Structure 1
Amino acid sequence: MTLFDPSAPGKLRVDIWSDIACPWCYIGKRHFEQALASFPQRDQVEVVWHSFELDPSAPVQSPVTMRDGLARKYGRSAAQAQEMMDHMTGVAAADGLDYHFENLKLTNTFAAHQLIHFAAQRGLGDAMKERLLRAYLSEGEFLGDPEVLVRLGADVGLDADEVRAALDSGKYADAVRQDEAQAQALGISGVPFFVLGGKYGVSGAQPAEVLRGALEQVWNETHPAPLTLLGQSTPAEGCEDGQCAVPQRDGADTRG
């Protein structure tokens, strides 16, 4: 897969790897949207979402709560894990996100990533990503249930029967695995991860001003500004396009 598409002149492509089960990824999405909103060339930016599973071995059904999972993963007490969740909830709230970890249902996100790929084929990749993040982190939806994914797909305008068929067939499973293989090849070990213009990486949910600065830097490097002519109120005679205009005494021009 080519990160930067040279067939799209004047565009800046931003590839983003993230996982639905990643609270920082939702915050990172908001920060990037804030950066993009104030970027003068925002209409020339193409955003492509890529799959990344923080835990590909996660079971679809899990009796573990978010708090217990954090405590187990980081070797913390239940109280310390709760403090981590409370801190994350506060960070998210500052960006207008309403996290409810007490209702979160841990699950495997492989099928949900397939749904994003399917939605992208219909021009709804970003809307689907947004809907799944909100469903998982704010609404306590169980994304391991295929029928929940069908309903969420319909929420963004996808045909429910087409979503169900795509998930049943596993048509987009290879696309998810290709994203993950590419992430590994690029050395991406954590998300969110942004690749700008195919060669500049930004790791983590950086503040909006950092992402805005990255957009400006890459845009300026890949889209140099035209030269400004100095000290000229009117154009002087010259040659261009393989021809030269030679003024005649009668005011007519000849080209040679």
Structure 2
Amino acid sequence: MTVKIQVYSDYVCPFCFLAEGPLEQAVQGKDVEVEWMPFELRPSPTEPLDPWNDPPKLRMFEQSIAPYAQRLGIDMKLPRLSPHPYTHLAFEGYQYAKEHGKGNEYNHRLFRAFFQEEQNIGDPDVLAKLAGEIGLDAAEYREALETGKYKEAHQQALNHAYREAGITAVPTFFIGNKVLRGIANRETLEQVIAEELAGQAGKAAEGLSCSVDGECD
């Protein structure tokens, strides 16, 4: 039995980026399908986050998020982009990438571009370049953004996340019939996956996450 895993995330959520590694480790060699699901923490016209000009959020990154990344052995930066970009264009691009069989690869590239390379993933030129780097047609991708070809598909994905799945913080994992809210370590993910593969019941768990009110804890 294949276990389906859906991960709701936003590209500017630090814990979503940090959730990638443990998940990749946990699913190795297992009969699972992973799908990353769009969720915008701060959709336009909501004021975007600006951690470099928000002392409490800057302290949170320095005192909590950065040490957590270090413990995981992950190179991570707080991007010097003030404010952080909106992610709707990046997610419209995700719909293009998914349609062309590179959805998960696209997500990985965008997380790395933002949190390791400090690239502006709200810029269409940057997004097209990144799409090209993973083997997508950069010109066709850029045209899709310019024409809004995937705008409706992205909005439908957001409506699903907000209204049907009831997501209020990310990352949130739907692993078969179980839900994990917040970042989870490899061992926890492996346990839940094993329970699902065996058809066993289990408890939901919660970890560090970023919520729609701009808090990451």
| TM-score above 0.5, yes or no | yes
Separation in structure 2 between the aligned mates of residue 96 and residue 116 of structure 1, nearest angstrom: 27
Residue deviations 1:215-256, cap 9 Å, x none?
Answer: 01111118xxxxxxxxxxxxxxxxxxxxxxxxxxxxxxxxxx
Residue deviations 1:89-124, cap 9 Å, x none?
Answer: 221133232222152451110000111121111211
1:34 aligned onto 2:21: no
Q: TM-score, normalised by structure 2?
A: 0.83
**What is residue 134 of structure 2 aligned with on the other side?**
156
Tell me the matched-pair count.
Answer: 197
Separation in structure 2 between the aligned mates of residue 13 and residue 165 of structure 1, nearest angstrom: 32
**What is residue 190 of structure 2 aligned with on the other side?**
212
**What is residue 172 of structure 1 aligned with on the other side?**
150
Contact 2:51 2:58 in 1 (8 A): no
Residues 129 and 13 of structure 1, relative CA distance in 2, 3 Å threshold: same
| Match runs of 1:102-121 below 5 Å | 103-105=80-82, 106-121=84-99
Q: What runs of 5+ residues in structure 1 fail to find an aligned partner? A: 1-9, 72-77, 223-256
Residues 82 and 66 of structure 1, relative CA distance in 2, 3 Å threshold: closer
Q: TM-score, normalised by structure 1?
A: 0.71
Separation in structure 2 between the aligned mates of residue 90 and residue 112 of structure 1, nearest angstrom: 28
Determine helix, strand or coil for the equivalent of 1:141: coil
Quick one: which amino acid aligns to residue 148 of structure 1?
V
Cα deviation for residue 136 of structure 1 reads: 1.1
Determine helix, strand or coil for the equivalent of 1:101: coil
Quick one: which amino acid aligns to residue 210 of structure 1?
T
Residues 22 and 216 of structure 1, relative CA distance in 2, 3 Å threshold: same
Separation in structure 1 between the aligned mates of residue 114 and residue 180 of structure 2, nearest angstrom: 25
* Aligned equivalent of 2:172, options 186, 189, 193: 193
1:83 aligned onto 2:59: yes
Cα deviation for residue 59 of structure 1 reads: 7.1
Q: What runs of 5+ residues in structure 2 fail to find an aligned partner? A: 201-217
Separation in structure 2 between the aligned mates of residue 25 and residue 58 of structure 1, nearest angstrom: 22
Determine helix, strand or coil for the equivalent of 2:40: coil
Bigger Rg, which one: 1
Separation in structure 1 between the aligned mates of residue 146 and residue 58 of structure 2, nearest angstrom: 37
Contact 1:66 1:102 in 2 (8 A): no
**What is residue 74 of structure 1 aligned with on the other side?**
none
| Match runs of 1:1-256 below 5 Å | 10-37=1-28, 40=29, 42=30, 44-57=31-44, 65-68=50-53, 71=54, 78=55, 80-86=56-62, 87-101=64-78, 103-105=80-82, 106-184=84-162, 185-197=164-176, 199-221=177-199
Residue deviations 1:22-58, cap 9 Å, x none?
Answer: 0000111112112112xx4x2x211111110000125
Residues 160 and 102 of structure 1, relative CA distance in 2, 3 Å threshold: closer
Contact 1:67 1:85 in 2 (8 A): no
Quick one: which amino acid aligns to residue 24 of structure 1?
F
Residues 59 and 143 of structure 1, relative CA distance in 2, 3 Å threshold: farther
Structure with larger RCO (C-alpha < 8 A, sep 6+)? 2
Separation in structure 2 between the aligned mates of residue 219 and residue 114 of structure 1, nearest angstrom: 33
Same amino acid, percent of matched pairs: 31
Could you list the structure 1 runs, at least 4 aligned residues long, displaced by more than 4 angstroms after superposition. Answer: none
Residues 195 and 66 of structure 1, relative CA distance in 2, 3 Å threshold: same
Separation in structure 2 between the aligned mates of residue 181 and residue 140 of structure 1, nearest angstrom: 29
